[in-house]
Amino acid sequence: MIEGTTAVTTVTGYAADRVITLYAKEAGVKVEKSGAFSKIKADFTAVAGGDYIEVYPELEDVTETIDGQEVTYSRPTGKLLELDRYVTTV
């Protein structure tokens, strides 16, 4: 739950290792398309409490040599990708 105040609350960064849903408790909460959120489709601004944006971590494949064997695994890049969003229509 993202809690705001009477002023606009802007979310600028968030670290995640799984799918997360950020619910706005009230109107005016904003997630800008920058920083960790630079790969979402567009800025998100809640119109009412209950609006949400759902994101998941972008992964990259990394290959390392461990004990003489090449091992490939995935790790988060620090960027979040958009899965879904809901904004109340008025």
pLDDT in tens, 24-54: 888 888 899 998 899 999 999 999 989 999 9
> Is 1 part of a structural domain of the chain?
no
Q: Which domain holds residue 15?
A: 10-86
Domain count, the chain: 1
> Is 36 part of a structural domain of the chain?
yes
At residue 86, the pLDDT reads 95
**C-alpha separations of 44 from 7, 26, 34, 57, 68 in Å:** 16, 13, 11, 17, 47
Query: Which residues on neighbouring strands pair with residue 44, listed in sequence order?
Result: 31
> Is 5 part of a structural domain of the chain?
no
Rounded to the nearest integer, the mean pLDDT of the chain is 85
d(CA 79, CA 90): 31
> Is 3 part of a structural domain of the chain?
no
At residue 77, the pLDDT reads 92
> Is 82 part of a structural domain of the chain?
yes
d(CA 11, CA 30): 6
